[in-house]
Amino acid sequence: MMETPKVCLITCGNSLSEIIVLEALKEVGSEVALCPLSAVVGGVSDILGLLKEARYVMVVDSCSEACAKKLIDGLRIRYDEYLNLEEKLGIKTPCYTSPSGEVVDDIGLAAAYLIERIEEVLKEL
């Protein structure tokens, strides 16, 4: 099993929210891990173990469809924080449309916000 991170981030796989999380992970280090929604739903034991052992679990969606939250709530998986980047930042990064040039800026903005939020959480743990 992988080393247990302090924070696990759950997000839809192959989505803009995953791209945002991956960008943020470049800056925050090994204390934070991506726990892909597909692995959680699929019951991948290493990922489920990380979720159980992590001190803080955050579910991240990039649009108002809130797919990750709906699935995690349906599975009754514990999490400490839900972050909807569209609602929080007013960005438009729906996963189901072709991205435009503005999406690149939105990804950068959202990743910067997520980095700040993760750093706040790590200081509190």
Count of CB atoms situated within 10 Å of the CB of 71 = 17
| pLDDT tens sequence across 41-100 | 999 999 999 999 999 999 999 888 898 999 999 999 999 999 998 899 887 656 555 555
Q: Judge whether 2 lies within some domain.
A: no
Q: Judge whether 1 lies within some domain.
A: no
| Rounded distance between C-alpha atoms, residue 33 and residue 75, angstroms | 20
| Domains identified in the chain, total number | 1
| Rounded distance between C-alpha atoms, residue 43 and residue 24, angstroms | 25
pTM assigned to the model: 0.89
What CATH code is carried by the domain that includes residue 71? Answer: 3.40.50
